[in-house]
Every structure is written in structure tokens, then in C-alpha cells.
Structure 1
Amino acid sequence: MSDVKQLPTRDEVDEALTWDLTQIFKSDADWKAAYQKIEQDLEQRDTYQGHLGESADQLLAGTTYLLDIWHQLENVDVYASLKQEQDTGDQDAQGLAAQANDLVARAGSALAWFNPEVLSIPEETLQSWLKEATLAPYAHYFADLDRAREHTLSADKEGLLAGASDIFGASAKTFGVLDNADLEFPVVKDEAGNDVRLTQGVYGVLLQSTDRSVRAAAFKQLYKVYLQFQNTFASTLSSNVKGHNFDASVHHYPTARAAALASNNVPESVYDTLVTEVNSHLDLLHRYVSLRKRILGVDHLHTYDLYTPITGESPLSYTYPEAQQTALKALSVMGDDYVSHVQEAFDNRWVDVVETKGKRSGAFSSGVYDTNPYILLNWQDNLEELFTLVHEMGHSIHSYYTRHNQPFQYGDYSIFVAEIASTTNENTLTQYLLDNTDDPKVKAFVLNHYLDGFKGTVFRQTQFAEFEHWIHQEDAAGHPLTAQHMADYYGKLNQTYYGDDLTPDPEIAYEWARIPHFYYNYYVFQYATGFAAASTLSHNITSQKPGALEHYLNFLKAGSSAYPLDVMKTAGVDMTKPDYLQDAFAVFEQRLNEFEALLK
């Protein structure tokens, strides 16, 4: 077993391939000083509490005080969070993250009086004050707050709930530590017959292997571990759902979904339209699954056969430096200014590249108003990682533009539009790769990748959305979310989506146990809506439709200065209607036709 390939520790990685968190705080001591300053500032709340309704000046002073604390707290929180994510087994980093979480909870409790006190100001008075020059920049901020008037409790009750935020988040934290640090996965064989320790990152690579025995072993061995802890994961997920339902109930929302979508001013009809449209187009997914079974030449298509390229071994692979150069070329259609910031990310250590021992799995973009928009990767030399790079770069450049064009109160964008910039980049990369090759094998591989990406983002994330809504409904109805109950539903739902040509593997019924996004409170559906909207935006940009790039960049710069659906309308996509989804399915079908023709 001494020959088993092990992940490097963080100190064994070239510093240039790690993110530079000293640009947030030079040291943990500086972080502690900032932490203590926030504690001191919180003690000044009596200067503002109880006085907001006295005058426009007092409202401005209180608002400035509130936003300043959250501004400082963002830096403290994200530094601690990223330190922990880079090594989830680092006890010191866990300590910083725990302290940050505690301070966030205490700040939320100490400042919970603000919203109820603003909403106690007569509406006519508030509207007249907002016309004054000093408060005018906060007009949308207060309009957004006013939407929650009937769902806002008294200051003492909101303070109590805010103080318990760390408790409500405990299940998600437990899942994260268990999934990223404590689970011990077995050793499996790679394509070359080498022993490799199974990790989330390695699993993703092995599942794309053209050696079926490698795929099958990775799949079965990974789920063997999750099945061993199925009841623990059912407990953490159930507790998380209960927290969502409780919070929605006490704030007088009819459902947890209504509460989650209200924060972005998105009607539930947008969610239902997505599910309806996807279910009405499942024949396209079934057709693709059937094609996959036929081309792979298998009697029984299993779940572990859904991710390997139909066209065989990838003709494309990228080292990280090669991926950087390809990303710059593909994104050049976004204009010189956009590309200059991508280069800035590469040159200034915004990206943490290498998979290391204890590092959080997957990939994400993170950061706050004052920081770089950092990117976490777990790099593997394949096409999928190139797409991940441009995806996360889409998030980061969206963040960059927002923070450099909006004041702090509007310096972040709605979660509802968060996946649009990232998937616009993905669609743009797909078009670049298709446009820059005459090799039918490469073209077929890229089309296959696009179809798989659509499958995984639009179809699969909508499947997740259906499951997520179901578990919230089941809990609200008083039905216990046991591992078996969830597995029974999930297994049937999975079969509905993929159709009769997919052999139902018993392990896949427990896929819910390993999906971190089920802890994110109605987040996953936005991957699907975002990808569909991005399909339209990317097509408009790459086809050089007049005004398309300018409208898109204005969308990236808008932040939360307007409601997300309104921001998207100005960018050219009305997400209250099914048209954008139907357009996306039309592109999927057209590329499926092209792929089938190439294979013939």
C-alpha cells in the first residue's frame, strides 16, 4: 500500500498555485484586531437604536452604522471561511471559522432591531425622506426592505432568531466537515492499474474513464461509504429542512420555497415553469440516454456510464497553464476590459488550483466587497476542468464588475442571477471550441461535452429542485425524512428523468446524501434557469448581435441595484416567461441532431 497515490499537503504546493489571503489580512493577528473592532462597534448600537424614526439624518446615520459593521464583518468572515476551505482539517482554521460564525450570529442579533424599526416609520414619511439627496442612494435598498414588512417580526423576536443562526446552520456545517474531512474513502484502481485514494475530485475523473470497470468500481466504492452513513446524512438533511420550514413559518410565509424566493423578489411561478418545461422536454433526455446506450454498445446502461464521453478518450487535455491561455482566447469575445481582469486573476493569485489533503471538494468563487473574487479549484488535466475554470471565472468577473461599479449597499448580486455569468462563459467556451476545429473527433467530443453539461445543469439540477421541494413539503406535512423514505422517492424520480434505457442502480437512490446544495435553501433550481438564460445571452454575444455585449456588461455591473428579474430584462431575457427555456431546449436539440450526424 506504500505505492498508493496520495494527495499533497498544502505546504508541498507551489505558492503561485495558491490564493493569496494576505491581501485580506496580513496575518491572523490582523484578523483578530478587526474582529475586536467589530465587537467594540457593536457596543455603540444604543446611539442609533430607537432613533431611526426621528429624522432623515438619524435614519442615514443608523443605516451607515449598520452597513459599516456588515462591511467589516464580511472581511472577517470570508478570510476565516477561505482559510478553513483550503484545509478543512486545519484545527486553527476551524477555530477562526467558528469565531467568525459566532460573531456573525452575535452581530445579527445585536442589529436585528434595524429592519423592524425602519418598518415602524410611516410609509409616507419614509418615502418623503428618501427624496432627500443624502438618502436617495438608498431608495432601492429601502424599497427592497419594505417588501418584507408583513414578514418582519418585532425587534426582540428577530434578534432571538438571528442569535440562533449558528444553531440553525449546524446541520449544514456537520455535513460539510463529515463529507470533506472525516469520510475515509477506499483505494481503487485507475486506468493504468495504479492504486489511488478515492476522493471527490478523483471520483469525478474516474467516472469519465473509458474503462468501464474503473467507472463501476469508483461508483460502487464511493456509494458504499455513503450508504454506511445514510442515517447520519438523513439526520443532517432533515434537520436542515426543518430549520428552513420553521423560519418560513414564523415569518408568515406559506412555504419555505416562498420564503427563499421572496428574498430575490422571484415569484414561485418561475420555479414551477422550470419544472413544467423540463418535464415536457424529458423526451430529449431520454433520446440522449438511448443514444449513449447504443453508442457505448452495452446491454444495460448504468449510472456510472452517464459521464464517460461517448466518443471515447478525450482528444483534448489541458494543463493549468494551457487552460489559462485557452480561457483568455475564448473569452476575448467579451472585450478587452473583461479579458484584462481575467489576466489579473491569473497574475495576482486569485485562484487556488491544486487538490490537496483536506481541501474542500469541488470548485467555487468567493470573496466580498473589499477582497479579490477568489476561486477554489481541485485541478485535473481535462476538458471538464477548463470548463470549471471559465465557469468560476464568470462568477469572479461578475463580482469584480459589480463591486467596482456599485456602492456597498448594492455591491453584491442576487443569488437568482449568480449562475448566469458563469454559464454564459461555459456556453461561450463551447462555441469557441466548435468554431476553432475542423477535426470531427474534436467537434463530436465538444458537442458530447455540451450535451452532458446541459444534462447535468438543466435536467439534473431541475431533478434536484423537484427533490428539494418534495423534502420540504414532506417535512411540513409531518412525514419523517428517513433515509429509506428519501431514497424511495429519489430513486423513482431519477428513473423518471433518465427513462427506461437506464438500469436503476440501487446506489443512486442515495445520491441525495452527497449533494451539498440541498443545504443551500432552494439554490439548485437557479443553476437550470441560469444556464437557460445564459444560452440566449452567449448566443447573442458570440453572433455579435448589436448591443448584446454592452447590455451584458451592464448586467454584470448592476449588482443588486434593481430586482434580478428586472436586471435580466434589460439584458434581453424575460425569465417570467417560458420562452428562454424553450429556446435553450431548441439549442440542445439542434446540437443533439448535429452530434448524431457526426457519429453516423
Structure 2
Amino acid sequence: MEQARGALPSRAEIPAEYRWKLEDLYPSAEEWEQDLKTVETLAAEFAGYQGRIGESAATLRAALALRDRLGRLMDKTFVYAKMHRDEDNTNPHGQAMVERAQALLTRVGEMTAFFLPELMAVPQTALDAYLQAEPVLAQYRHFLADLIRRKQHILSPEEERILALSSELAGSGENIFTMLNNADLEFPAVHDEEGREVPLTHGRYLRFLESKERTVRQEAFLALHRTYHRYRNTLAAALNAGVKSNVFYARARRYPSALVASLDDDNIKEDVYNSLIDGVHAALPAFQQYFQQKQAMLGLAEMHPYDLYVSPVADFELKISYEEAKAVVKTGLRLLGGEYAALLDKAFTEGWIDVYENKGKTSGAYAWGCYDSHPYILMNYQGTANDLFTLAHELGHALHSYLSNRAQPYINAQYPIFLAEIASTVNEVLLVLHLIETAQNQREKVYYLHHFLEHFRGTVFRQTMFAEFEKLIHQQVEQGEALTAEWLEDEYFRLAQFYHGPGVVLDPELKAEWSRIPHFFYNFYVYKYATGFCAAVAFVQRFRAEGQKAVEAYLELLRSGGSDYPLALLARAGVDLSTPQPISEAMAMFRQLLPEFTL
């Protein structure tokens, strides 16, 4: 099935084979309801351990096991509710399910808030003795060591209870943005290449930006950004709420800044964040040279933001059905071996993937799931090259989760986001190199080279610009200033000018771009795209130089989940992101590709 242009289909009109199987999580709503009740029961049972956590090795073992059981069931109920809503954000039943699941998480957080402070109060000598006495506790060794490391940031039981009570409010900014962005925001119709009026949607926007017709690109760009601009004050208020939430929790936990607090979750120093920005700044001359080359290839007198995405190869464009995309992905990732290929087959045939856009469906793409389910992937497949690579990207996340969940106990299975973007980007880099190397002629090769260079632009340069903007907006709030729409527009535009240089004419409508980026609500998430890309390039270079040995080290990294700190796991697999080297090597590859980028 390839979607026709025009009005979006309803959820029911999408064939079942292109919808994920949420029934694998819960065959019926009644079973979800029952698990909500079970979560309440388990939370009450866990609350019975208050005041007893450190009394003996057996008590600690039992409390941790119950905590895991409770966590697994909370994950399962929330994941199901959220994905059910994502199928159609206009469905009030799905909205209500998410609200109920979030409210339950808050109540459970309040009931269990005593645990970490109590565990922190157990003397180190006692913990060591318990680990010796109860071999089953060995799986919690990293968890316990990390808690001790962060001991100064764990508050008293009463303070932790208050923070838990506030957690539902903390997501208000993001929730407001999500509902406005996915359910209420409506874009005007625009004209396609044949001059027909077509509704502009999130899923179609990128396709329009990749159009060979400049008027199509320009009209879509202006229509989308002017729509966001009309809601700039509401969106600024939502973002202000999100940033204030991050700052509040950082200060409550005695961190010097929201950035330091966010990085500390992964035991990463601020130098890693700043080193990324510095490394990308050093490569901006090459970045701006790329725009100059592309402008010349496109034959444009001026380069505008709506010209950045289009391929300079006028007579080659990849249009690929979903069925064809599955086969190309499998071939492109064959270097990862037979086990990985078998898991790709499971993903394609066992209801992991929700493929096509429908009315009310959450925009974009993601991979998710829980410890007790197979992974799930949300797509809005349109048949473009970008969709092909997005499929490979999300499969990287999904198979990372699958391997980790089956190799690690629950306490260690959840890998940090810092590692997540490596697994997804390795897949994209392998796929694009395969397509470059098997291109039938120079024009096809340049088409895929353009995609790879665009990957650098979008994942390293653009995400680092976002990371720099995110640092600025948090500093603004930390200094007691407000994030007004005018300030956000001016700062974002200034940063965009610095990155793109004088060779790109930035339309004033670009000032609204900050307001449509959901990742600004994710508490310093975006820099991990850029570091992940650079690490992925390093891994792929190792695969090609060292063969199976490097592939096995990488797969072992995927199986390691969160069993150690991300920088330590990466170093064990052969890539050291605590140094600037992977960033420098990735930027060097970008420079090396530029001379090949010519027709």
C-alpha cells in the first residue's frame, strides 16, 4: 500500500498488515485495566518495606525484586496507553488512557519515594556484606554503585515524595506542545508539482522540501512556519514551562545547572557536550563550503532554507515502496551478520511496525516498547529516500532493545539514550555506504552522497546547533529571565546565521523553527544524536577494517544495555567518546566526501 495524496485515511482504513500489533501487549482493554489495579496493589505492597530496606540481605533482595516487578508492569501499562493514543491523537479514549496511566505513575512515585533515600542510608559496609550473602544481588551491583556516586543528589524521603508528587506537572509543557502540534494544529493546503491543492501535514512536509519544483518547496516552507508563528506565544509558554521544570529539578537535587544534572545521569562531564560544540564549530567552513557546492549544482542565484533538502541530481530520485525498502535494508545491513538479519525478519513479519500515516496519528517516527514486549516502531512512510533511512534507523533502536532485553536482567536492560543513537545511526551509515558503492553511475552515486552529507548536516551540524540553542535557553531561565517568543526567535535566528554562514539567505520565517522542535522538551537530548553519529562512523570504519571481530564487539555493546556507564561500554567496544577524536574523525570524513560530491 502506498498512500494516495489528498485527505488522510482514518485509522480503520489502514490495512492490518501495516499496523503494529498492540494486542501482543494487551489482547483486550480489560486486561490493561486489570494491570492498572495490579500496579496499585504492588505499589501498596512495596510501601510496606518503608523503614525496612536495610534490615537484612534477604529483605533488600525481596524489595528489589518487587520493585522490578512493579517497574515492569508500570512500563507495560504506560507504553500501551501512549502507543494507543499515538495511533490517533483525536481519539478521546486514547487521551484518557494516557492521563490515567500518568496519574498512576505519579501515585506510585509518591508511594515509593522512600526507597532511594532509605537505600542511601544503608552503610557501605552493610551493602558489601549483603552482596556477599545474596548472590542474586550481583545483578544490582552497577545500580547500587551508581546510587552511591549520586548520593549527594538524593534527597530526604519527604523531599523525594514532594518531587514525585510534582512529576505529573513537570510534563505539562511537553503535553501542551504535543496536543497542539499533533491534534489541534492545522496547516493550509499547498500546491504539489502538478498544481493540485494538497493538505500540508507533518508527514508530507519533508517530501515537499525535497521536491525538484522550487515553488513547491518554498510554499510548503512558508506555510508551515507561518502557521507556527501564529502560535508563537503559546509555544513559547509551553517551552518556558518545560525548561523551568528541568531547572527546578536540577536545583532541587543540588546541581549547578540543568545541563550538568542531565549529563550526570550518564556520568558524563560537561566537557563532552562542549567538546562537541567546539568540534563542530571548527568544521563550519567545510559545512558552508558544502552549501556553496550544492548551490552551484542546483544552479541557484541564492540558497534559501527550503533549498537545503533537495537533491542536486535532477534526473534521479528514489521512490521506493515499503516492501522494496525492507529488502534494501536487509541487504545494506548484511555486514552485521545472520543473527541480526533474522531479527530484521521478525520485525518485518510479526507486527512490530506501524507503517503509514493516518488522521490524528503522531507525526515523525520512533522505536519503543517495554521489557515484556517485542519492540514497536512508529513510522509515517511516504516512499522517499528519507523514509528508507528512517526505517533502518528505527530498526537500529528496536534491535538494540531486543538484544539488551534478552541479555540483561530488567535492572540493567534499559540502555541510556547516549548509546541509543549509536545503534540507529550505525544502520544508516552502513546502508548509505552500501548504496554509494553499488550505484550504477555517477549521478546515482552523487544522489546517495548527497544523502550522506545531508545526514551529517541534519544529525551532526543541525543537532549541534539545536544543542547549543538548548544550552542557551536553559541559561536564560537559570539567570532569572523569561523565554519570550521574541527572544527565542532572535536567538534562534542568530545561531542559524552563524552555522549556515553568509552563503545561505535565511528567510525571516525561519525564526519560527524553534517552536516546532519537540526535542527541546527532552532535557538535553539532541546532542546525543550528534555524538551518536560520530561514534557510529567510528564503528563502521572498524567493521570495514577489522571484520567480524569488530562486529562482535559492537553486538556485545548492544547486549550490554545499561550494565555500565555509556562511555565505559563504548571504550570496551573500541570507541572512546571521552576524547575529541571521534568528533574530529567524523568531521574529517565530511571534508573528505566533499571533492566526490560533484556531477
Tell me the TM-score normalized by structure 1: 0.98
Q: State the Cα deviation string for residues 90-131 of structure 1 (Å, max 9, x = none).
A: 100011111111111111111111100000011222123223
Equivalence for 1:248: 250
**1:307-318 correspondence runs (5 A):** 307-318=309-320
CA distance in 1, matches of 2:69, 2:32: 17
CA distance in 1, matches of 2:548, 2:200: 49
CA distance in 2, matches of 1:353, 1:210: 25
In the superposition, relative to structure 1, how do residues 542 and 356 fare at CA in structure 2: closer, same or farther (>3 Å)?
Answer: farther
Task: Confirm or deny that 1:592 pairs with 2:590.
Answer: no
Q: State the Cα deviation string for residues 320-347 of structure 1 (Å, max 9, x = none).
A: 0000011111111100000100000001
CA distance in 1, matches of 2:315, 2:78: 43
What secondary structure sits across from 1:32 in the alignment? helix
Give the CA deviation at 1:546: 5.3
Q: State the Cα deviation string for residues 468-511 of structure 1 (Å, max 9, x = none).
A: 01000001101111000011111010010011001121111121
Give the CA deviation at 1:88: 0.8
Equivalence for 1:103: 104
What secondary structure sits across from 1:59 in the alignment? helix
CA distance in 1, matches of 2:380, 2:596: 32
| Cα pair 1:210 1:313 within 8 Å, conserved | no
| Cα pair 1:395 1:418 within 8 Å, conserved | yes
Equivalence for 1:470: 472
What secondary structure sits across from 1:365 in the alignment? strand
**1:420-431 correspondence runs (5 A):** 420-431=422-433
One-letter amino acid of the counterpart of residue 159, structure 2: K
CA distance in 1, matches of 2:252, 2:151: 14
Range 502-511 or range 23-32, more displaced: 502-511
In the superposition, relative to structure 1, how do residues 46 and 297 fare at CA in structure 2: closer, same or farther (>3 Å)?
Answer: closer
Range 59-68 or range 524-533, more displaced: 59-68
**1:2-81 correspondence runs (5 A):** 5-81=6-82
Q: 2:162 aligns with which of 157, 160, 163?
A: 160
One-letter amino acid of the counterpart of residue 44, structure 2: E
Q: State the Cα deviation string for residues 502-561 of structure 1 (Å, max 9, x = none).
A: 112111112110000000000000000000000011122244435110100000100011
| Cα pair 1:425 1:538 within 8 Å, conserved | no
One-letter amino acid of the counterpart of residue 583, structure 1: E
Equivalence for 1:147: 149
Q: 1:413 aligns with which of 412, 415, 429?
A: 415
Equivalence for 2:367: 365
One-letter amino acid of the counterpart of residue 75, structure 2: E
CA distance in 2, matches of 1:591, 1:46: 59
| Cα pair 1:316 1:442 within 8 Å, conserved | no
Q: State the Cα deviation string for residues 18-37 of structure 1 (Å, max 9, x = none).
A: 00000000011110000011
| Cα pair 1:185 1:222 within 8 Å, conserved | yes
Equivalence for 1:214: 216
Equivalence for 1:341: 343
Give the CA deviation at 1:247: 0.5
| Cα pair 1:4 1:195 within 8 Å, conserved | no
Equivalence for 2:175: 173
| Cα pair 2:226 2:512 within 8 Å, conserved | no
Equivalence for 1:434: 436
Q: State the Cα deviation string for residues 406-437 of structure 1 (Å, max 9, x = none).
A: 01111110111110000000000011111222
One-letter amino acid of the counterpart of residue 333, structure 1: L
Task: Confirm or deny that 1:395 pairs with 2:436.
Answer: no
Equivalence for 1:88: 89
Give the CA deviation at 1:11: 0.2
The gaps in structure 1 that reach 5 residues or longer are none
What secondary structure sits across from 2:237 in the alignment? helix
Equivalence for 1:231: 233
One-letter amino acid of the counterpart of residue 97, structure 1: V
RMSD over aligned Cα, in angstroms? 1.2
What secondary structure sits across from 1:337 in the alignment? helix
What secondary structure sits across from 1:53 in the alignment? coil
CA distance in 2, matches of 1:233, 1:134: 49
Give the CA deviation at 1:316: 2.1
CA distance in 1, matches of 2:384, 2:105: 39
Q: When the two structures are aligned, how many residues end up with a matched partner?
A: 595
* Aligned sequence identity (%): 39
What secondary structure sits across from 2:333 in the alignment? helix
Give the CA deviation at 1:41: 1.6
**1:282-321 correspondence runs (5 A):** 282-321=284-323
Equivalence for 1:203: 205
Tell me the TM-score normalized by structure 2: 0.98
| Cα pair 2:188 2:223 within 8 Å, conserved | yes
Range 60-69 or range 122-131, more displaced: 122-131
Equivalence for 2:114: 113
Equivalence for 2:453: 451
What secondary structure sits across from 1:426 in the alignment? helix
Equivalence for 2:195: 193
**1:460-499 correspondence runs (5 A):** 460-499=462-501
CA distance in 1, matches of 2:226, 2:84: 30
